[in-house]
Amino acid sequence: MAPDLLLDGATVVTMDGGRTEHAVGHVVIENGRIAAVGAGPAPESLGPRTDLSGCLITPGLVNTHHHLYQWVTRGLAVDDGLFGWLTTLYPIWGRIDADVVGAAAEAGLAWLARTGCTTSTDHHYVFPADGGDVLGAEIEAARRVGLRFMPTRGSMDLGRKDGGLPPDHVVEDIDTILAASAAAVDAHHDPGPDSMLRIGLAPCSPFSVTGELLRQAAALARDKGVRLHTHLAETTDEEQFCRERFGRTPVEYMESLGWLGPDVWLAHGIHFDDDAIKRLAETGTGVAHCPTSNARLGAGIARAVDLRAAGVPVGLGVDGAASNEACSLIEELRHALLFARARGGPLALAVRDALELGTIGGARLLGWDDQIGSLEVGKQADIAVWRLDGLGHADIVDPVAALVLGAAPPLELLLVGGDPVVESDRLVTVDEQDLTHRAVAAHGRLLARAGSVTGQQERNHS
Ligand SMILES: [Zn+2]
């Protein structure tokens, strides 16, 4: 019987355990899964094939940190640091609702697909009381775009009046948060092998949640068998905050609340010291490295190389669009490599290590590496096919170097579970023009709603 799809004649980089590569190879897809991967042309007996000479086939990229709602608040506070940026944006974010989040998430996920991503997480932590079902809106957006999705039910319960960072009207009480988190898992989480949707729990950060919420969220996640995510060590201010308030470093504080372990991944981790890195490695706690966002906010360069060397699982994230207007996952591979070498010298991170961070490394953080992250028989056919025979890449000798060091190449094909999401560098599941209009309209509605705030900003800038 002929396979559903036979990709032939391309370079194949599998990212399997032996890091197998085929200068010219093929991938056979049946029932949404990889049925064969091998060197040379596929056997003639398999019948018709898609000729992909001039292309590179890799696993689809895995995005391990994002805030999709921010797609409609890009380009604000562009010359500010994290705290000034947050203070400008929180009042606007506090006005989001399900309509705005749906439009933002669909645009953001579609753009991730255009940049080679087949699986994304999302850290959503802003739930205005009158905002409707914002988590449901982004789940519907992912279904429409066709990406594998792990949204996390985030939360904030430490508002300004209690010494936290977010405005009081966007924080929820702990009982509401835990009930909504349990309901999100019960309604949406699919742990099965063909799952397109899994849920995680993700209180926002030590600045914006109480220790009690962190403790109870960890207990709930373990009871439900889902993963835990939060921001940690993004700024030196946080180190100071944790030492002053709790007499502990951020990692010691999180450990005291049950927040280290192989089911936890932390965003950023820029300011970990050697002891913290050792503890993360010992406990199998993962780190989502977000080089572009960290640079955009001037927060620093995470010690990704030291984390890897110590054995900490590391993946890549674009982070929210308000701190990374590009939101290009392929660009994160390049930035991870460039920043690692700028910091640690020419041997700090190899081009294939950068690809590993963006594929199987990310899959491990999400606990999904048994199904995605590498091209191996039996795994999901989540596949990126990059066209490297055009002006930008044709004479770069090593296709992996062309992908990581060159400009972002056109995507010839992007498959999720064997289904095409991008063909010939165009989205085929959704209408890009329509998404653009809807995102622009949502941006307009949101800023009009938060009018007094943005009016103030414009006055400050004029
Ligand atoms: Zn973030």
What are the pLDDT digits (tens) for 386-442? 999 999 999 999 999 999 999 999 999 999 999 999 999 999 999 999 999 999 999
Is the predicted pLDDT of residue 170 greater than 50, yes or no?
Answer: yes
- Tell me how far the alpha carbon of residue 231 lies from the centroid of ligand 1, in angstroms: 6
Is the predicted pLDDT of residue 460 greater than 60, yes or no?
Answer: no
Q: Which of 83-97, 208-222, 347-361 bottoms out in mean pLDDT, i.e. has the lowest?
A: 83-97
pLDDT band at 451 (very low <50, low <70, confident <90, very high): confident
Is the predicted pLDDT of residue 459 greater than 80, yes or no?
Answer: no
pLDDT at 169: 84
> Which token pair is 286?
């993962």
Is the predicted pLDDT of residue 456 greater than 70, yes or no?
Answer: no
Ion ligand 1: residue ranges with CB closer than 5 A: 319
- Tell me how far the alpha carbon of residue 402 lies from the centroid of ligand 1, in angstroms: 29
Radius of gyration (C-alpha) of the chain in whole angstroms: 21
**Buried b vs exposed e over 130-140: b needs ≥16 C-beta within 10 Å?**
ebbebbbbbbb
Q: What is the 3-state secondary structure (H, E, C) of 268-285?
A: ECCCCCHHHHHHHHHHCC
Long-range CB contacts (within 8 A, 24+) of 253-261: 253/206, 253/211, 254/206, 254/214, 254/230, 255/279, 255/283, 257/211, 257/214, 257/215, 257/218, 258/214, 258/215, 258/218, 258/219, 259/214, 259/218, 259/228, 259/230, 260/285, 261/228, 261/285
Is the predicted pLDDT of residue 186 greater than 80, yes or no?
Answer: yes
**Mean pLDDT (the chain, rounded):** 95
Whether the predicted model's global pTM rises above the 0.85 cut: yes
- Tell me how far the alpha carbon of residue 391 lies from the centroid of ligand 1, in angstroms: 35
Average pLDDT over residues 275-301: 96
- Tell me how far the alpha carbon of residue 375 lies from the centroid of ligand 1, in angstroms: 29
Which of 266, 273, 330, 321 minimizes the C-alpha distance to 297? 321
- Tell me how far the alpha carbon of residue 319 lies from the centroid of ligand 1, in angstroms: 5
- Tell me how far the alpha carbon of residue 22 lies from the centroid of ligand 1, in angstroms: 36
Average pLDDT over residues 113-138: 97
- Tell me how far the alpha carbon of residue 82 lies from the centroid of ligand 1, in angstroms: 11
**Residue 197 · residue 146 · CB < 8 Å:** no
pLDDT at 454: 47
Is the predicted pLDDT of residue 452 greater than 80, yes or no?
Answer: no
Q: Which residue, chain included where needed, has tokens 């044709």?
A: 394
More confident residue, 208 or 185: 185
- Tell me how far the alpha carbon of residue 320 lies from the centroid of ligand 1, in angstroms: 6
- Tell me how far the alpha carbon of residue 267 lies from the centroid of ligand 1, in angstroms: 6
- Tell me how far the alpha carbon of residue 58 lies from the centroid of ligand 1, in angstroms: 26
What are the pLDDT digits (tens) for 332-357? 999 999 999 999 999 999 999 999 99
Is the predicted pLDDT of residue 218 greater than 50, yes or no?
Answer: yes
pLDDT at 156: 96
pLDDT at 1: 66
- Tell me how far the alpha carbon of residue 248 lies from the centroid of ligand 1, in angstroms: 22
What are the pLDDT digits (tens) for 298-340? 999 999 999 999 999 999 999 999 999 999 999 999 999 999 9
Is the predicted pLDDT of residue 216 greater than 70, yes or no?
Answer: yes
Rounded Cα distance, 460 and 191, in Å: 49
Average pLDDT over residues 88-92: 90
Is the predicted pLDDT of residue 6 greater than 90, yes or no?
Answer: yes
Rounded Cα distance, 32 and 38, in Å: 18
Q: Please give the single-letter amino acid code of residue 44.
A: E
Average pLDDT over residues 224-253: 94
pLDDT band at 367 (very low <50, low <70, confident <90, very high): very high
More confident residue, 93 or 459: 93
- Tell me how far the alpha carbon of residue 28 lies from the centroid of ligand 1, in angstroms: 37
- Tell me how far the alpha carbon of residue 369 lies from the centroid of ligand 1, in angstroms: 22
Is the predicted pLDDT of residue 462 greater than 50, yes or no?
Answer: no
Average pLDDT over residues 202-222: 96
Q: What is the 3-state secondary structure (H, E, C) of 370-416?
A: CCCCCCCCCCECCEEEEECCCCCCCCCCCHHHHHHHCCCCCEEEEEE
Rounded Cα distance, 243 and 30, in Å: 54
Q: Which of 207-211, 224-228, 415-419 bottoms out in mean pLDDT, i.e. has the lowest?
A: 207-211
- Tell me how far the alpha carbon of residue 205 lies from the centroid of ligand 1, in angstroms: 9
Which of 418, 425, 414 minimizes the C-alpha distance to 60? 414
pLDDT band at 238 (very low <50, low <70, confident <90, very high): confident
> Which token pair is 150?
């792990």
